[in-house]
Structure 1
Amino acid sequence: MDPLATIPADLRFVGPYLQRARELATHEPIIAYYCQFYAVKLALARGGQAPETQAFLLGLVEDLETKKAALGQEPAILDDETSKSYLHNFALKVFYNADNEDRAGKASKKTGLTFLASTIFMELLRIFGDLPSDVEEKLKYAKWKAKEIVQALREGRAPTAGPPAPIPSQPSPTMVVDLPSDALPDQPSLDTSSPPPAAHPTPPVLPTPPPPSAALARANRAAPLQWTESDDALSELDYSEGELGMVDPDVAAKAEKHTRFALSAMQFDDVKAAIDNLHQALALLQPYDRRQT
């Protein structure tokens, strides 16, 4: 099933996680699995009780268990520590892709959206309990930076590279974000626009695939997560994989191949072959079209 195809209105807040699950299903199936797993947890904690909502959730869990079974004995699914390491490394890879581009003075809307995407992947670590302090700091920084970049572009000015300059007065301890990292030396503290995300109890360990009803009960035991006002303000930014330059490389290569075939066909006045290949290229890229969501 396509998790986004019929998502009920009262579950739209899990859309970014389900969209990532769909977009990464081929290229990063483990990340895709956890995006969908986390979406289910959020939906059960905050979603409505309408029959169509419950039916959608049940279908989502059944699809999740199918995906888990397909991953077989993958250590990043069966072992918590391996899972956390896998998610942590992936989230930071996306974060540093944006951060390095920003610090080089090359920030664009794509950079802002990549920062925003990194927050989705960092949030997944809440599946295993409280976020590590360094991840929570990067999460807040990425949210702030995404808004700062997009706001600058809307105002017609170049985004300011890196973190803001230190301010003379001592800020409130709850408003200071430090980003210690070997990859990012000598970083000043950051003044963020929102308090740290709320901490949450550790969800249950992921066992071997249970029946859907057991999976629903397992996910429902997790405490609801708090979505701050600044989180909602970010919803206007698109999480589309196409915007973030994270289209599945295999898909991109196939689409490019069909486009080349279409151009070649036009050189020989073979309109039918050109149209057929363009249709195939468009069909490959359609799931990444931002205008669908």
Structure 2
Amino acid sequence: MEFPPCPNSLKSIQHFLKLAQEHDSRDIVIAYWARLYALQIGLKASSQSAEETQLLLAIMDWLEQMKKTHADNEAITNDIAAQAHIENYALKLFLYADKQDREENFGKNVVKAYYSSGVLYDILLTFGELSEEALHNRKYAKYKAAYIHNCLKNGETPIPGPFPDDESAELNGESPAGVKDEAGTNVTAPEEPSTDAQSDNVEPSSPAPQTTPPTVEEVLNNPNKLPSPPVEEEKPGGFEPYVPPAQPNAAIFQPAVPVHITPDQMITAQKYCKYAGSALNYDDVKTAIENLQKALKLLTTGAE
């Protein structure tokens, strides 16, 4: 379906529409919820001009058509399944970008992956407030996208991996130039840490292996190649990607007396189980285990 051009007055939804367009043939679930979120934002920002109305009506028609065509796709018809699908997709992009970043494989693919991950975490606001992990990854992804983009633009070598946070590195909904659509933007690069503040005893890092990193498309089209989170020593003051706390052994969840489970708790447990099922679709065993453990704990202790 051909959509009318996005007027400048709805510039705030352009990056969601761009993401949707890129996923029309790759992942209809991502395309659907990206356009739905764009519609929600667009309706709030619209001044009801003819150009705005034409675009928003076209998005509405497309959404209705997709909902009928994919009525058997739970990730489109069910909010819980959709949220789990998008969370896993965003995390996959985030881990890919973080791995390439730490290995100093800088380029447009890394910027695009970080940025797209941040946009996906924005889309998750459709379902309510973000979790601590999602909030952390969203901020870090946008931070790194802006920083690496501006370093490359200015001919500088980015610092790999995390370093002290700088609040000036917000993208404010803008897409970095060179992230596929070459759209211009005014992104302020974060200030690099002062060399005086760095320890003289820190040894230089080993050079990254000379291998050709996979592209964003290769990662997304090969679910079995989900990268593992990097393991590094914690640096004081660093901005480390969020690592969920270790879950207790399931054996301690065996209740001594029967536990009364409320209807709301039962729904929450079902949600965790669906998250686990969605994670397994991407061969993300770690996330599946974490969600199953949460469900087991809730059902056996009555506490989250």
Whether the 8 Å CA contact 1:147–1:234 is kept in 2: the answer is: no
Query: Is 1:131 aligned to 2:130, yes or no?
Result: yes
Measure the CA separation in 1 of the matches of 2:151 and 2:111: 10
Q: Which residue of 2 aligns with 1:230?
A: 170
Greater relative contact order structure (CA < 8 Å, 6+ sep): 1
Structure with bigger helix share is 1
Q: Deviations over 1:180-213 (max 9, x none)?
A: xxxxxxxxxx42315xxxxxxxxxxxxxxxxxxx
1:2–1:22 contact (8 Å) kept in structure 2? no
The structural deviation recorded for 1:76 is 0.9
Q: Is the 8 A contact 2:86 2:124 kept in 1?
A: yes
Preserved contact between residue 113 and residue 237 of structure 1 (Cα < 8 Å): no
Please list every run of 5 or more consecutive structure 1 residues that lacks an aligned counterpart in the other structure. Answer: 165-189, 195-228, 250-293
Report the alpha carbon displacement of residue 64 of structure 1 after superposing the two structures with TM: 1.2
Partners of 2:32 and 2:179 lie apart in 1 by 17
* Offset at residue 95 of structure 1 (A): 0.9
* Residue aligning to 1:246: 217
Alignment partners' CA distance in 1, 2:176 and 2:101: 21
User: Which ranges of structure 2 fall in alignment gaps of 5 or more residues?
Assistant: 184-214, 222-304
Counterparts in 2 of 1:117 and 1:76: CA distance versus 1, 3 Å = same
Match status 1:79 vs 2:78: yes
The alignment of Structure 1 onto Structure 2 pairs a total of residues equal to: 189
Rounded to whole Å, the distance in 2 between the matches of 1:58 and 1:161 is 44
The separation in 2 between residues aligned to 1:51 and 1:15, in whole angstroms, is 17
TM-score by length of 2: 0.57
Matched, 1:193 2:167: yes
Match of 2:58 in 1: 59
Corresponding residue for residue 193 of structure 2: none
Look up the equivalent residue of 2:107 and give its one-letter code. Answer: S
Are the counterparts in 2 of residues 116 and 142 from structure 1 also a CA contact under 8 Å?
Answer: yes
1:246 counterpart SS class: helix
Per-residue CA deviation, residues 127-181 of structure 1 (Å, 9 max, x unaligned), is 00011111111111111111111222233222111001xxxxxxxxxxxxxxxxx
In structure 1, what is the equivalent of residue 109 of structure 2? 110
TM-score by length of structure 1 reads 0.59
1:100 aligns with 2:99: yes
Equivalence map 1:160-199=2 (5 Å): 160-164=159-163, 190-193=164-167
- 1:12 and 1:246, CA in 2 relative to 1: closer, same or farther beyond 3 A? farther
> Partners in 2 of 1:140 and 1:102 — Cα distance?
16
Amino acid at match of 1:113: K
Closer, same or farther: CA 151–242 of 1 in aligned 2, 3 Å: closer
Q: Which residue of the partner structure matches residue 268 of structure 1? A: none
The answer on whether the counterparts of 1:23 and 1:241 sit within 8 Å (CA) in structure 2 is no
Contact 1:117/1:239 (8 A) holds in 2: no
Structure 1 residue 2, shift from structure 2 partner: 2.4
Is 2:67 the counterpart of 1:68?
yes
CA spacing shift, 1:103–1:236, aligned 2, 3 Å: closer
Q: Give the superposition deviation at 1:67.
A: 1.3
**Contact 1:20/1:241 (<8 A) preserved:** no
Q: Is the 8 A contact 2:20 2:35 kept in 1?
A: yes
* Contact 1:40–1:60 (CA under 8 A) maintained in structure 2: yes
SS in structure 1 at match of 2:9? helix
SS in 1 for 2:148: helix
Q: In the alignment, residue 72 of structure 2 is paired with which amino acid?
A: Q
CA gap 1:151/1:56 in 2 versus in 1, 3 angstroms: closer
- Is residue 150 of structure 1 aligned with residue 124 of structure 2? no
Residue identity in the other structure for 2:34: C
Q: CA RMSD in A?
A: 2.5
Give the 3-state SS of the residue equivalent to 2:217 in structure 1. coil
3-state DSSP class of the match of 2:83? Answer: helix
Cα distance in 2, alignment partners of residues 241 and 156 from structure 1? 20
Identity of aligned residues (%): 28
